[in-house]
Amino acid sequence: MSEQNRTIRHEAEQNRYVLEVDGQEAGFASYVPSEGVRDFDHTVVDPAFRGQGLSSPLIKFALDDTREQNLKIRPSCSAVEHFLNKNEDYRDLAV
């Protein structure tokens, strides 16, 4: 699978970021918004797409977009917490 077949978009009205692979929804990262903070509470990669390293680009995109909006995060989801532990340049986003 090549990266050009991946797209990630923010579905703000559903409070989630969606990853598509070849036009199919492969996963999402959802959050609960509150006063300047997005509580990332759930990250899911569809079983058909697991093992392809898709959660990291999805979380990275979501955190980069959150940073651009001058918001902070709460990593309630273990996948987001794991990402922060491995990528110290994102730790400043956490409250």
CATH number at 17 reads 3.40.630.30
* Cα–Cα distance measured from residue 20 to residue 39, given in angstroms and rounded to the nearest whole number: 22
pLDDT at residue 3 tops 80: no
* Cα–Cα distance measured from residue 64 to residue 46, given in angstroms and rounded to the nearest whole number: 23
**Mean pLDDT value across residues 54-68:** 98
Q: What residues make up the domain containing 28?
A: 3-93
What pLDDT was estimated at residue 74? 98
* Cα–Cα distance measured from residue 33 to residue 37, given in angstroms and rounded to the nearest whole number: 6
**Cβ-contact 17, 10 below 8 angstroms:** yes
**Cβ-contact 90, 70 below 8 angstroms:** no
pLDDT at residue 1 tops 70: no
Please give the tally of structural domains in the chain.
1
Read off the pLDDT of residues 11-55 as tens digits, 9 standing for 90 and up. Answer: 999 999 999 999 999 999 999 999 999 999 999 999 999 999 999
- What count of other Cβ atoms lies within 10 Å of the Cβ of residue 44? 18
